[in-house]
A = this chain, B = another copy of it.
């Protein structure tokens, strides 16, 4: 082989994504349509696709952009949406989800993408990829449409775990800062801690403790800490990363999605109400499309599992081709930026300086 082909192989090896074709609400068709859309836009992307071979071969054969860029890995089992995570952890071998995570574990792919059962995917990812040294609870981070310059804020945890103590919240701040640096290209992300008021005396005990831990870690880890923020600040431009426990984060995320959906439906009704408003809808078509695109949850599809040896992107269970393609785009970005390695290095160094160093240093000495 010539030097040239070696480089090509290296480059493509860097951007192989492992995709679970099964487990979404709509089966493998939108997944294959989604990766095809990504492949058409991005020549540097390759896929390992996991699921029942015959069915996947038929779906892939229909999509020209996928020719020669997909390797199918046969897996007959499917993790259903109502499967218990603990059961999948013990008996999940042979499912497409297990197989998809395995390709990241053995280094064939850099990032895994799945539309399946969130709890099962997190459980499988934890046992197969294992937690990063220094991380107690992994977290799921999402991109939240906001008034910030990038158009998005990072919010975590949105549902990996229902609990988080002060040390976990500090870890989330470090992981969230790293994600914002690599995913949103922010040099010094601004971190906020979600609470029911912005005064320092408010809120639960673990939040007050986390407030001090995160404040002390800020300078050493190149982020700004803006202190407590409230629910209304999540889409604001005064913060880039919002840190909270997975129970609160999950409720907030689903509440925001439900609110956006209700407003969209009411808006659609308003436009259909009278002949005049129907004409208005036609005239405003382009502007409204831009508006819809901005708040379309499919375009920000993809929760990222942080704190594991390897990156996993969880797509919505109901994702269509647009949603899957958004998740694939995010996975590609993270793969290219070497996010996994950077995050691991960041957390390890924070754990070193934070937990192994003498107490004076942990309390905020900025010389380290």
**CB atoms of A254 and B276 under 8 A apart:** no
> Is A61 in the interface zone, CB < 8 Å from B?
no
Q: Give the CA-CA distance A284 to B281 in the complex, in Å.
A: 8
Chain A contacts with B in 239-285, Cβ cutoff 8 A: 244, 246-248, 250-263, 265-267, 269-271, 273-274, 276-277, 279-284
A129 CB to nearest chain B CB (Å): 23
Q: Is the beta-carbon distance between B258 and A255 smaller than 8 angstroms?
A: no
Q: Write the nearest CB–CB distance from A201 to chain B, whole angstroms.
A: 7
Within the complex, what minimum Cβ distance (angstroms) separates A257 from chain B? 6
Would you call the interface of chain A mostly helix, strand, loop, or mixed?
helix
User: Number of copies of this chain in the oligomer?
Assistant: 2
- Could you say which residues of chain B place their CB within 8 Å of the CB of A287? 270-271, 273-274, 276-277, 280
A26 interface contact, C-beta 8 A: no
Question: Please, which residues of chain B bring their CB within 8 A of the CB of A295?
Answer: 262-263, 266
> How far does the alpha carbon of A256 sit from the alpha carbon of B82 in the complex, in Å?
28
**Does A106 lie at the interface of the complex (its beta carbon under 8 Å from any beta carbon of B)?**
no
Q: Which residues of A contact B (CB under 8 A)?
A: 82, 84, 119, 145-147, 159, 162-163, 194, 196-197, 199, 201, 203-204, 230-236, 244, 246-248, 250-263, 265-267, 269-271, 273-274, 276-277, 279-284, 286-288, 290-291, 294-295
A-B contact pairs, 5 of them (CB 8 A): A256-B259, A260-B263, A270-B290, A281-B284, A284-B284
The 3 closest A-B pairs by CB, nearest first: A231-B254, A280-B284, A231-B255
